[in-house]
Structure 1
Amino acid sequence: MAEASPRPSVPTRLYAEWLAVALVATLLVTALVLGRLTERLDHIVYDRALTASQRPPPDDIVIIAIDNRSLQAIGRWPWPRRVHAEALDRLAEARPRAVGYDVLFVEPTDDDAILAAAVRRSPTYLPQVIDVPGPNGAAYAIALPAGPLATAAAGIAQVNLHFDGDRVIRKAYLEEGGDGQAWLQLGALMAGLKVADGSQAARQGLWQARPVLIPYGGAAGNIRTFSFIDLVEGHIPPELLANRHILIGATADGMGDSYPTPTSGTTSQMAGVEIQANLLDALLRGDAITPAAEGWVLAGALAPLWLLLIGFLRLSPRGTANLALALAFLILATSFGLIRFAHVWLPPAGALIGMLFVYPLWGWRRLQAISSYMTDELRLLQSEGDAFPRQRRADSGQEITLQANLLGQAIDRLRDLRRFLSDAIGRLPDALYVTDLDGRIALTNAEGRRLAARLAAPMTTGSDLRDLLARFRVTDNGVLSPFVDKTSDQGGAEAATEDGGSFEVRYVAQRDASDAQVGWIMRIVDISPLKQAERHREEALQLLSHDMRAPQSAILTLLRGPEALVPKPISARIESLANRTLELAEDFVQLARAEAKPLEPEPIDLNDVAIDAADALWPEAKARGIRVDVGGIDDPHMVDGDRQLLTRAVINLIGNAIKYSDAGVIRCTLAEIDGSVRLTIADQGIGMSDEQRAKLFERFQQGPREGIGLGLALVRTVVARHNGKIDCESAPGEGTTFIIDLPKSDADPYAEY
């Protein structure tokens, strides 16, 4: 099956979609806040918050209303200024704290001196007016109170009111100015505020500064109000006016000085003088509402948006829904709480709209990403081939039908694989256990349950495999349990049980498709029959090594005794046969041990092996007039192997070379070739035919002269067990060359082992 090409995973796709959604939502909220596109919704929330936090009417503020009754009693508007002077004289008798006269006196009249004298009797503040546009094409014109009035007043204020987009008065600018001058709002001036450090006064054109939102105490008429005519006629007790802030202004119908406010309702309006009174009350109480700076509004809108975006990645859909509801509540609660306790207005609509926008958008994109990923994965799974072919379901061409068909086919395949896995594991002849990382058994087979029952260990789904392993005793140097050596992905050991059984335990890490370890797979094989066979083999080897050699040795002893009991030709023949029998027993024992001996490789220098073998055969070579040269030993040639077995193999090869050579030189040469260590043993003997060479390494195959035929079989076995290769080059009369290649070791040749 072809390897699947790399493709984006679900998290990768979701992160990409998440980043896109986060970017779009952030840009949207930024545009909403900076463009003030949510003002109408913010106004609705603000009005509700303001209504919920109304306070009792002030006791230190009184309105003197120029109402309908006063107009009926005094006459049509405007009144002579001596009428206003009479009212101020009445107020002066009551000794008010301050008087704000919200009536424009910008045109000079003959009564200005009378009114100016009355203004001086109390700390009275008069308004100016800014006409936009001004006369003669001017952008604006500033009209101050008539000459003597301006000098008599305690201060000149501005009473400009500014509508929001829905034509409702919610805010006021405490400072406004033009022509290098600055004026406080009437309520601010009466509250004792001062113009700022003058930086605004130097600005060109009209300007406004220090905006505040007016926390209206209630609907129109909430502040104590007396009729102007009652003041003039002396019907108001002086103690109700003494040491209070008095605001005088028009409230009568048709005077055009009434405006809608958040608390005035949809059918009524609030007079401008009462708006000034509410502003004055807020400034005196210190609870005028300050609009949050644009940067804080943007931060307050983006913070919950990003919390929700992070929740999209961290939480479940239900958790995300709960988070969205909690954030919406928190946004409104924060906005209401800041108004009530910190007197700051933080508009919430940008944050709410951002969340309302991003929640369904993310749901759509998340589902689309998962849907696309699922379709791609199911298509890929379908293209990988199936061990259990089925007829594919019909495709109607619709996306939902396609996904349903692909999913159905995947489920069918999963069921088939499950059945296959269950059957395969269940029919295994060995005990098999599949566990999680903590050793809890998730799957086993009949042999596994049978072994657990034999050892009286608990065996149900979820049982701890360590309870079973506790019944074993390790008999070699292996590691029985993967829960002991957690650094290795695989391992095992031979072990025995109390009932005399012998077992081989092997385990390997279980990994998922992403190569993450999820558990362990353990196989336990009953090797009791093998152990019994090994014991029988050892007994046979014992028979060969002792019981067969002892009689032959006795025969040789008798033949070599001082008394010639057997004629010389016959004794020589008997001695030769006895030696061959001893050689057969020795070769057979060596071959059996080479095949069965547990290999314990260690770093060794093959130079030393070749030298030791040559030294061991020096007497025999000298007796036949043969010289054994060992070359290529100037540099070390390190391999990992069993020194005893390798030495025996090289002795056998050199011994064969001596046996089949009458004289000359046997050359043992070592070299490094292509990452392997090569040992070449070449003689100048009689050589052999291709037919003899083809069967050279088979058991009981003799060379050109008489022999047993087990020596080269041992050599082949030793080389194979060391993951090496052996080859032979020979021709009759041209000698024989044996070539051994062994894997090179990375060990340090100068270290001590």
Structure 2
Amino acid sequence: MNRDWLHIKTTPWTLALILLSCTLLLELSSLPRHLDYWLYDQTITTFPGEPADDVAIVAIDELSLDRLGRWPWPRSNHAALIRSLTEAGAETIVFDILFPEPSPDDADLANAMEAHGNVILPVYLAPSESRQLLSEQLPARALANTAARIGHAHVELDSDGVARGLYLYNGLGQQLWPSLSLAAFAPEATPPNYEQAPAFMNIRDEYRAVPLAGGAGTVATYSYTRVLEQTTPAEAFRDKTVFVGATAAGFGDVLPTPFSGLSRPMSGVEFHASTFSALAQNQLVEPAPRWLSSVITLCVILGLALSLPRMRPSHTLFTCLLSTAVLFVAFVLALQIGRIWVPVIDAALIALLALPISSGFRLSQTNRFLNRQLDNLAQSPYVTMPDHGTYHPRLLLEHIQELFEPEGWILCDGAHCLTSRFLSPQDVPSDLTPRQWDHRLNDSWLKLEQGDKTFVLGLQLSNDLQGQAIQRYLNHLRLEIPDSIQQARSPKENISARIQKVRFATERLNQMQQFIRRSFEHMPDGIIVTDELGVIRFANRHIEHWFREPMPSLNGLPLPRLLEGYDPRESPRWNEIIAETLTLQQSRTIDLQIHGKDFLIHIAPFSLPDNEQSGLIANISDISELREQQRQHREAVDFISHDVRSPLVSQLALIEQLKRDPANIAPQQLEQLGRLARRSYNLAEEFVQLARAEQLTETRFYECELLAIAENARDSVIEQAVEKGIDLQLQGTEDLWLKGNPELLERALINLLTNAVQYSPSGSEVDIQVYQAGHQAVVTISDEGSGIDPEELPHLFDRYRRQRRTELSGVQGTGLGLSFVKTVVEKHFGTIAVASIPDQGSTFTLKLPILDPLP
């Protein structure tokens, strides 16, 4: 049957009309503008220039704020800075600091400015109050009259929020101010004349893009306070233009730039200094007029419309890519050599769109069934897991090496050895079964047959539990060649075979849906999916576990009711949050507490692509551990700010006292200084030991004997016990082997023994017992000391926790020793318990798993 639609031929006018329509559609979106910004950013960051040698920055940084106090500073500080820069030989000083209000120190600052003779101050255009008209925020009169010039401090942000340039002139009505950088570089610059402009109109003229030489910190920067202290080399400012402004975080203006984005924004003073550098090197970029982009786009449309229909399909791709490449090269050359920003993205997008559009006209509309099935297939992604039997043995070995890092390996092709380490062809067994792993001690062997070749792959793994686990995992690798691969090798290719492939792909899509559902179940976060009314339609197992609600009761339950039942709140209520998310189609992230644990719930709207149905997806993350880490961080800061500083302050005070009267140094003063130094050392040592214990992993475990560890701990504290008249008794004769870190275990026992000796009276006894109980090694440490109050026992192992009784008795501690002991024991998968009677003594019991316990 003859069908005309099977023989559609592309005409130049048809293609030109479609490309022109695409151009108009692109102009209605912001995509070309953002891509134009992206192309500009990539070009200047790929080919950055060098900063000028005659520019420097004096930064109001964190160090300056810390030493000189809170902002604002007395203007006498700025006067002192100008004098320091004058002595250093600075040619021009540019302040990116507003001085709009009069100050008692204005006279001092004005005198310093007049003495230098070339100080530039900023003007800022902003409403003086809310709902007021735009006005010029000039420096105070005394300062404005003394300034050599005044320049505006405004930097232009593009539509994507990134600073790429500024207007050289800006002002209200007929009074236009040059930018700070232009005022510093060209004092004779004359602003354009706008005689008819109203006085309230904000006028900006001569926009220029600034090709920055780099991100924040590119221009030589010196601290404000160090310049005042004259610790900066004088040659750093000689014959240079010095910009003064704020760079401290959270202080002053911050500008995302092509080099930094939002990750490391640039301060305003650095941007103005970079602009001056570009001015000095004649590198400012002038945007081309918008009509030039339209002309280039029309030329590209005309050229492609006339050439593509006459080309072979294989040449179409080359022509479109070549057109795009030529446009990009022209853009780079114009930007780097001509210093002109020519927008070519519209034309480049059209050149790329011309390829699928022209090819689409050439496609035949036969095989409708296949196209329909393939469209359905394209709408639903799927994941396929390859069969490793299809891998080349060399690639299979490479992947195994990357994953498991075996100690040795070998790969042989028959009698030829392709690669080896620690294994030789003589080690290869002769009775291997194809495509089945054969494990012999810590060696694993695999025989693969591909075509007419036979490969043997051998691995030498570690002789431990990890090596055994790897061998068990290798047994589950799929090494067969599936039937689908065999069929794919068939030389026959017809419509029926293609239909069969589509049906096979559809079955894989069904498997993909099951895979997605199972993936939701195994995600680390809780997932809830609701309909348009916020009613739960799906929840994974985490939700069932965290809320302690059975799955049947969750399905059909309104999400606000579920959240309100476990974390009620007054304002805003959960129903308001869910309703606003649905109606405003905006995502929300809120803290959530369930059964005393901290969670973070992220609620996002969604809509199905094939209909108008919508709903919510709530992702719930368990952040309890993160909040606990934040709490520990705060406690650590408090500990350092108080406990660590206190003895250091006392030492400094005592040293100052000794310095005032060095001839009369009493022995008790030196003894007191030694006690304070030892206390500082002990505080730092216990803090470091606790950090080491918290970072302990099984990679630092090895076989060790518990009785020997206990003997070493006893020997470490026996001298302290003898001085106090306390008898240390160690009972235990059986060697108990563990897998752990003996250094930290010994330190934990030393902490317990030191506490026992410290809190026990003279003439008492401390008993240490080491024995085996079932599959556990047990250590008990008993003393006859003051004991622990019952109300203190629940908090005994908390960080920075001190017993009230011991503090009142004058025995000072850090509150870290027992926390360290508990951390070490838990890292070794053990437990610790304490039994205590006030005024009678305490017993600490440690239980640790022994190595290879008997059944």
> Which interval holds the TM-score relative to the shorter structure?
0.3 to 0.5
Q: TM-score, normalised by structure 2?
A: 0.40
Which of the two has higher C-alpha Rg? Answer: 1
